[in-house]
Amino acid sequence: MSFRQNYNGCKTFGCRNCGNPNKDLYHLSERLGYPAWHCDLCGAYPPELLDAPILALAKQIQQRHYLSYLVGQSCTCIDTSWLRYGRTPSGSQRMQCRSCTAVVTLPNATLLGNRLQPWLSALMTGVKPQRLQQELGLTNKVFNQHIEQLCQLLNCYTHHIEQQAFAASNHFNLYSFSHTQACRSGLRLSATPSQAAYLWTLTTIDSQTGYVYLISDNALQNELTADYIHQPWLNCSQYRAKEKEVSTGDEVDVLLRAEKTYQKILARSQFDQIGYCHPTHSQLKLGKSNQNALLRPVYTAHAHMQNLYQHFPKSVKIDWLLEHESFIRGAAITSFSDSVANGTTDLYYYHYSLNCEPENSLNEKRTISWWNEKWHKIQLWDEGRLHQVGLGILTAVSEEQPEKLRQRLPTHLDISEHFWLRFEDWLPALYTHKLSATRIQQWQTLYRYLHNFVLADKPRIAVSNPASLHSIAAMVTELNANFVANSKTG
C-alpha cells in the first residue's frame, strides 16, 4: 500500500480545496500564533504538519497490521507470477517467481501448529498474560520468538478474513476514539524511580458489532530507529506535555460537554496540541538513544486514517462517529476527502451520557462553536433508564432528523469502554507499567483476536470457515491456499 506524501492543506468540509495538498492553493501564515496554511477559498488556517513523522508511523502500522503473508521472503516484482518449486525436507511448499527466479517457502502448517497451538489454546481457555509463559514452560528467548510469530500469523489471518468480508459489504458503521495506555518508559532517573510512559492510542471499531479494525499509538518503534533517529524532523515532532488537560467527561449534558470541549481545543496554543497526560508520563526511550519516542498524537491520527483508507474498499457507504477532537476529524477528512466530497462517507462527533435525569425537552438541536457545527441532543430510554447522545454533524449536506440520526448510534452507547475495560481486566495496569511498548502492542494484537473471534457468542465479522479460528494449522493451510490461488501459479 502506498500513502499520500503531503498532509498539509484545507480540512474544511464543502471547500473545493478540502484534502487537496497542492501548496499553490495556500500560503503560510502565523496570524493565529502558529504556522498554518491559509486557504483563500474558505479562510481556514489548518496548522502546518510535518509529513515525515506521519509516513513513519503509517509505515509502522502497515508493517504491524497489514504485512505480507511471506514476511521478509517475497520478491520485489510488480506483477509476480509463481511456479511451484518443490518442497523443503520438512514438507513446506516452495514457490519460484517466474520473473526474477526468487524462491519463497510457504509456512508449514504442521510445524507452526505444533509450535503455536498451545498458545492459542491457553488464551482461549482463559489463561492471562501474566501466567502464560509459566503455563507454556518456555524460556524468555523462545517466548519472545513465539509471541512475535503468533502476532504476525493472527494479523495475517485477520486481514484475510476482513478482505473476504469486505467483498460482500456495502456499508460500514465506524467509531474512532482515543485511549491512554501505560507502558515501561525505559528511562532511569538518578534520584527517583522511572516513571511509566503513556501512549496515546487510537482505536477504530464497528459501532454495531464492536469488531476492532485497528489499534495504533504514537510510539516510534525500535526497529525503525536506525532509519529515523538522526532525521531533523524527529525532535520537532516529539510529544511534549506541559500539563494534562481537564476532562469534560463528568459533564452530564452532552451539548454543554461539547461546548466545553470546543473551549478546551480553542484554548490550546494550536488546535492539535493536546495534553493527554502529565509531563512525568510523556517520555519513552527511543532505542538506545535518550530521545523521546512519543510523537504528537496528530501524527498518529493521520497515520491511522491513512491505513484505514488503504484497507477499506472504495465507493462503499461509511457512517463514521469520531471522538470530539479536531485533529481526529482533520485526519479522517483528509484521508477520506474524495468519499466525503461525493457523499459516501459521513463524519459525526459523538458524545454520550448514561443514566441522566429527565428533562423537559426530549431532543434539542444547536449550532455550537467557532466552526458553527450543527449538534443534536437525542434522549433515549433503555431498560427504564434515560441516556443522552450528542451528535455533531460534520459532513452531511442537509440537516438530519433525530430518527434518522438514531440509526447511526452504536449498539451500546459506551461501546468504546466495552473493549478497553475488558482488556484492562485481562492485562491489568499494574502489569503494563512493567512492559515495553512493543510487548504491549503484542498483547493488544492477541486480545484483539480473542475479542473479535473468540470471546463473543459468534465472530463479530462474517467468517467463511469458523472452525479455522481455533486452529493454527487450519489458519496456515487456508492462508497458503489463498496465496497460491491469487498468485497466477503455474
Which residue has better confidence, 21 or 485?
A: 21
pLDDT tier, 188 (very low <50, low <70, confident <90, very high otherwise)? confident
Higher pLDDT, 358 or 51: 51
- Report strand pairing: 385-393 vs 373-382: antiparallel
Q: What is the pLDDT of residues 58-74, one digit of tens each?
A: 999 998 888 776 655 66
Closest CA to 385 of 360, 419, 409, 353: 353
The pLDDT of residue 179 is 97
Question: How far out from the chain centre does Cα 20 lie?
Answer: 23
Say yes or no to pLDDT of 10 above 80.
yes
Mean of per-residue pLDDT scores for the chain:
90
Q: Provide the 10 A C-beta neighbour count for residue 117.
A: 15
Tell me, what's the pLDDT at 221?
85
Give 398 or 264, the one with higher predicted confidence. 264
Residue 361 has pLDDT above 70, yes or no: no
Residues 89, 490: Cα–Cα separation, whole Å = 22
195 and 280 in contact (C-beta within 8 Å)? yes
Mean pLDDT of the region 316-321 = 96
Q: Are 461 and 161 in contact (CB under 8 A)?
A: yes
Give the confidence band of 191 by pLDDT, cuts at 50, 70, 90.
Answer: very low
411-462 residue pLDDT tens: 999 999 889 999 999 999 889 999 999 999 999 999 999 999 999 999 999 9
Alpha-carbon 487 to chain mean position: 29
pLDDT confidence tier of residue 190, bands split at 50, 70 and 90 = very low
Report percent pLDDT > 70 for the chain. 92
- Predicted confidence band of residue 92 (pLDDT cuts 50, 70, 90): confident
More reliable by pLDDT, 312 or 418: 312
Decide which of 226 and 167 is more confident: 167
Q: Which is it for the CA torsion 187, 189, 195, 201, positive or negative?
A: negative
Q: Residue 381 and residue 472: Cα distance in Å, rounded?
A: 44
pLDDT of amino acid 232: 85
What sign does the CA torsion over 463, 469, 474, 478 have? positive
pLDDT of residue 304: 98
Question: What does the pLDDT look like over 332-357, one tens digit per residue?
Answer: 999 999 999 999 999 999 999 998 88
Average pLDDT over residues 19-30: 95
Label residue 160 by pLDDT band (50, 70, 90). very high
Q: In the prediction, which pLDDT does 189 show? A: 57
pLDDT score of 222: 64
CA angle, residues 306, 309, 310, in degrees to nearest 5: 90
One-letter identity of residue 329? R
Examine the pLDDT at 27 and tell me if it is beyond 70.
Answer: yes
Q: Name the pLDDT band for 225 (thresholds 50, 70, 90).
A: low
Mean of pLDDT values over 209-224: 90
* Tens digit of each residue's pLDDT (9 = 90 or more) over 279-295: 999 999 988 787 899 99
pLDDT at 399 over 70: no
Q: What is the mean pLDDT of residues 241-270?
A: 93
Residue 35 has pLDDT above 90, yes or no: yes
Domain segments of the chain: what residues? 1-48, 166-460
- pLDDT score, position 295: 97
Sheet of strand 317-323: strand arrangement: 212-217, 196-206, 171-184, 317-323, 345-353, 385-393, 373-382, 363-368
